[in-house]
Amino acid sequence: MENERLKQQIEFIVEIDKLKRVMRQSRIIGDIHDELLWENSAEHSWHFAMLAVILGEYADKTVDIGKVMKMALIHDIVEIDAGDTFAYDQLGHLDKAEREGKAASRIFGLLPDNQRDEMMELWMEFEERETNEAQFAAALDLVQPLLQNYYTQGYSWQKNKVTSDQVLARINAATKNSKTLKNFVEWLIHDAVKKGYLQ
Amino acid sequence: MENERLKQQIEFIVEIDKLKRVMRQSRIIGDIHDELLWENSAEHSWHFAMLAVILGEYADKTVDIGKVMKMALIHDIVEIDAGDTFAYDQLGHLDKAEREGKAASRIFGLLPDNQRDEMMELWMEFEERETNEAQFAAALDLVQPLLQNYYTQGYSWQKNKVTSDQVLARINAATKNSKTLKNFVEWLIHDAVKKGYLQ
Ligand SMILES: [Ca+2]
């Protein structure tokens, strides 16, 4: 193929296929006895982007939903090299930023320069949680796995010995741009405790 | 939970988790000897949306990329009820529209009325292939599985006895809004034949 720019873009598109093999600590909702059905990061990213499509009206400060969707789609691509770091893995978080930064440079570096820069900036914007879009995306990225856990009767919480205190401790930082989603998450956790899904 | 609107939205979000279990006739790129790694429709939808993010510049007639991304994210949700209909399955296509229409009514019908209408319209716009966005989305939805096939040495083409004539016959209808992607797909198919991946 002669089109060098398109060639780089296709190389990136083929490389990110690997996200379909990065496994998360979340169960797919459905038959909870089927051990095979853990969620991977590509599926999670699709679901997260769908939350942006459906729940956009709950951003307190205005957001560009197209940008939130893009953040959702690309936010985990670094896991192709860095792996998924479980939200409650303290040790894994010590070098998470370093591992993911290297991964971002390599993977987004496959793209033509202008797109590499755009993707790097968007990913860092999401990580820094400062803009309206990044803060709203953080709320959606919190809600998605909480739903997976709630609707599998707390499967991953129990397997990983996660407590309600640990889950509650993450809420304020993640829901700065959505009072409605903050309330929803608090309701969900208390209901999960009441139902015995979470200690 | 008291918020009735949010309750409907969450019900929809939980329901569409099932798309992660709808299997396609596409192999994930990687170890082609690992029989388990077929692609599901949630992963495909994520990848398709990423093609929109990266290849948007190749639309000949202007498109709203946010809209193309949304189309990608929702286009296969009907498969939760209707199943994936393989592109070359002539029998399956006889009642595809009917099966998928029913599925759209049920699944998008879980949403609050305004969002149900928005999703139904967006899905039908994609199906009808008339707007710039729908025509560009069709090209991306053609390219994504072609890449999966090419980079697994034609695994699914061979398994399903698909010929280059069948693949070539789909190109014109699917690439009305992208000369660049039309050329790319033609190059890819001819190269696949040359390499022996496709008859
Ligand atoms: Ca993650």
3-state SS of chain B is CCCHHHHHHHHHHHHHHHHHHCEEEEECCCCCCCCCCEEEHHHHHHHHHHHHHHHHHHCCCCCCHHHHHHHHHHCCCCHHHHCCCCCCCHHHHHCHHHHHHHHHHHHHCCCCHHHHHHHHHHHHHHHHCCCHHHHHHHHHHHHHHHHHHHCCCCHHHHHCCCCHHHHHHHHHHHCCCCHHHHHHHHHHHHHHHHCCCCC
Size of interface A-B (CB pairs under 8 A): 128
Which long-range contacts link A26-29 to residues 24+ away (Cβ below 8 Å)?
A: A26/A145, A26/A148, A26/A149, A26/A156, A27/A148, A27/A149, A27/A152, A27/A155, A27/A156, A28/A148, A28/A152, A28/B17, A28/B20, A28/B21, A29/A147, A29/A148, A29/A151, A29/A152, A29/B14, A29/B17, A29/B18
**Over the stretch A104-119, which tens digit does the pLDDT of each residue have?**
999 999 999 999 999 9
Task: Give me the pLDDT at residue B35, please.
Answer: 60
Nearest chain A residue to B9 by CA distance is: A54
What's the average model confidence in pLDDT over A34-61?
92
Task: Say how many Å lie between the CA of residue A76 and the centre of ligand 1.
Answer: 6
Half-sphere exposure of B155 (CA within 13 A, CB side): 21
Task: Give me the pLDDT at residue A31, please.
Answer: 63
Chain B residues 136-195 with a CB less than 8 Å from chain A:
147-148, 151, 180, 184, 187
A6·B180 Cβ contact <8 A = yes
**Assigned token pair, B141:** 């939805």
Q: Which of B20, B37, B115 sits opposite A28 (nearest CB)?
A: B20
Distances (CA, A) of A43 to A166, B42, B93: 25, 6, 26
Work out the pLDDT band at B34, boundaries 50, 70, 90: low
Selected from 3.90.1150.10, 1.10.3210.10, 1.20.1050.10, 3.40.50.1820, the CATH number assigned to the domain covering A4-195 reads 1.10.3210.10
Query: Mean pLDDT for chain A?
Result: 94
Given a contact cutoff of 8 angstroms between Cβ atoms, the answer to whether B27 and B36 are in contact is no
Question: Amino acid letter at A73?
Answer: L
A9·B115 Cβ contact <8 A = no
Q: Does B123 touch chain A (CB under 8 A)?
A: no
Question: Amino acid letter at A141?
Answer: D
Question: Amino acid letter at A186?
Answer: E
Q: Does B91 touch chain A (CB under 8 A)?
A: no
Contact residues for B83 (Cβ-Cβ < 8 A; gap 6+): B22, B99
Q: Does A50 touch chain B (CB under 8 A)?
A: yes
The distance of A31 to chain B (nearest Cα, Å) reads 11
Q: Does A73 touch chain B (CB under 8 A)?
A: yes
Q: Does B10 touch chain A (CB under 8 A)?
A: yes
B13·A47 Cβ contact <8 A = yes
- The answer on pLDDT for B156 being more than 80 is yes
Work out the pLDDT band at B33, boundaries 50, 70, 90: low
B47·A45 Cβ contact <8 A = no
Among all chains, which residue has been given the structure tokens 């025509």? B135
A69·B74 Cβ contact <8 A = no
A49·B49 Cβ contact <8 A = yes
Nearest chain A residue to B185 by CA distance is: A1
**Over the stretch B184-199, which tens digit does the pLDDT of each residue have?**
999 999 999 999 999 9
Task: Give me the pLDDT at residue A33, please.
Answer: 60
Rounded to an integer, what distance in angstroms lies between the CA atom of residue B146 and that of residue B151? 8
Q: Quote ipTM for the complex.
A: 0.96
Burial of A170 (0-12, 13-18, 19+ CB in 10 A): middle
Rounded to an integer, what distance in angstroms lies between the CA atom of residue A141 and that of residue A26? 13
CATH code: domain B4-23+36-194 is 1.10.3210.10
What's the average model confidence in pLDDT over B113-142?
98
Task: Give me the pLDDT at residue B31, please.
Answer: 64
What residues of chain B lie within 8 A of the CB of A70, using their CB? 53, 69
**Assigned token pair, B180:** 């660049």
What's the average model confidence in pLDDT over B63-91?
94
